[in-house]
Each structure stands twice: as structure tokens, then as C-alpha cells.
């Protein structure tokens, strides 16, 4: 990625912070989008903000992404920004749809108009929905049922549409559960279990132990 000018949305999340670190180590120029105060984020705690261009604002703000792409002459985009918490999506589906769906098409349209050379969009394994045949394969149909799951399937399909219609060079990843250093979100299993172990408590198992991830 040496010499590339890269925009990372969702840079203040767990994956985003580590991605920015790797990009900087690869000598890319990095621009990030920042909406809220994020003092506890991996990016902030690693002291990386001084090494990146920070654009303040919401991904759904009119013209924000287009301005960032033009101002910093971005050629590569990693779109990680999303409302990722299932309980919040169930309580507040509209705000989840706004961020995850509208935010994605605004970004893709800005990339199309700007002529971005590479776009990577983060979807989720939740986009597959329930299937009789497991494990999921990449060719499985997307048939989600619930708000968060539907929002990620829409993200996936929007990206596919921009490739097939305008040949926007976009790739989609479908993540399962992410974990790693610097994750302070105690609503997730791994940081909650680590915090419990450090405090001398038994971790709480949230299922019967039968689900598997490969």
C-alpha cells in the first residue's frame, strides 16, 4: 500500500484501528472519518491520530465523503463504518438502517463519482440469515430476517450493484465475530470473558456451547 491515499470509515472501531496501524506501517497516506469522541478506541490509544488526516462528521452527512475523497485525493477506500450492535438494531432499526444502508450508498456513489480505484466494503456473516445447510458457503443466498442482518445484506447488495452497473472496483468481506487487542466493548463475548478472568470471575457462556465458527 506504499504511496496509496486511503480513506478508512469506521477507523475508531476495533478492526479499523488495527487496519489504520497496518496501513501506516505500509507507508500509505491515511484519512479517517470521526463522528464521536473516541478516547477509548484502539486508534486513539495507539496514538495514531497524529499520523492521519481526520475528517469530522457523520457518514450520512451530504457531501462529506465526496469532500474527503477530493481533498485528500483518495484512491483506496475501506468502508467499515456501521452500527454493529444487534440489541441497538432491534430497539432502533431506523438509525441502524440510516447508518448501515444509507451511509453505504452515499459512500459508494461518492466513490463512483470520484473514480476510486479500489473499494472494500465490510458486510457480515449475518447477511446469510438462517439456512438448513451449514456451514455457510460464499454462494449461499442472502436471506436475513432481523434489522441488523438485513442492513448488512443491503450493504452487500448495494456494493454488488455498483460493480455490475458501473464497474466500480469493489470487494465485499463477510466477517464473523471479530476480536483482538484493544477491544473494550464489554457487550462482546471475548472482552467480557477476558475481563471476567482478570477479575477472578468465571466467564459467562452465552449459549449451550454448540455453535461453531471456522
Active site residue ranges? 148
Q: Is 85 in contact with 96 (CB distance < 8 Å)?
A: no
Q: Is 100 in contact with 83 (CB distance < 8 Å)?
A: yes
Q: Is 190 in contact with 179 (CB distance < 8 Å)?
A: yes
Strands 53-56 and 76-79 come out as unpaired
Burial (0-12, 13-18, 19+ Cβ within 10 Å), 136: middle
**Comparing C-alpha atoms, which of 55, 48, 52 is closest to residue 34?**
55
**Comparing C-alpha atoms, which of 163, 168, 144, 165 is closest to residue 154?**
144
Structure letter (DSSP) for residue 209: S
Burial (0-12, 13-18, 19+ Cβ within 10 Å), 191: middle
Amino acid at each position: 500500500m506504499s504511496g496509496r491515499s486511503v480513506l478508512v470509515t469506521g477507523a475508531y472501531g476495533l478492526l479499523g484501528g488495527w487496519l489504520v496501524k497496518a496501513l501506516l506501517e505500509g507507508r500509505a497516506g491515511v484519512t479517517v472519518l470521526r463522528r464521536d469522541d473516541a478516547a477509548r478506541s484502539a486508534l486513539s490509544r495507539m496514538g495514531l491520530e497524529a499520523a492521519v488526516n481526520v475528517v469530522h462528521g457523520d457518514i450520512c452527512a451530504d457531501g462529506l465523503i465526496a469532500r474527503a475523497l477530493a481533498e485528500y485525493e483518495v484512491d483506496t477506500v475501506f468502508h467499515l463504518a456501521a452500527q454493529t450492535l444487534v440489541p441497538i438494531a432491534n430497539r432502533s432499526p431506523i438509525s441502524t438502517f440510516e447508518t448501515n444502508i444509507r451511509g453505504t450508498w452515499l459512500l459508494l456513489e461518492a466513490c463512483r463519482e470520484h473514480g476510486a480505484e479500489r473499494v472494500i466494503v465490510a458486510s457480515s456473516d449475518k447477511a446469510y440469515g438462517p439456512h438448513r445447510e451449514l456451514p455457510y458457503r460464499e454462494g449461499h443466498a442472502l436471506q436475513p430476517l432481523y434489522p441488523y442482518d438485513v442492513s448488512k445484506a443491503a450493504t452487500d447488495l448495494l456494493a454488488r450493484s455498483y460493480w455490475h452497473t458501473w464497474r466500480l472496483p469493489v470487494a465485499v468481506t463477510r466477517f464473523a465475530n471479530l476480536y483482538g487487542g484493544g477491544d473494550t466493548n464489554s457487550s462482546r463475548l471475548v472482552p467480557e470473558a477476558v475481563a471476567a478472568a482478570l477479575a477472578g470471575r468465571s466467564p459467562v457462556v452465552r449459549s449451550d456451547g454448540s455453535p461453531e465458527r471456522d
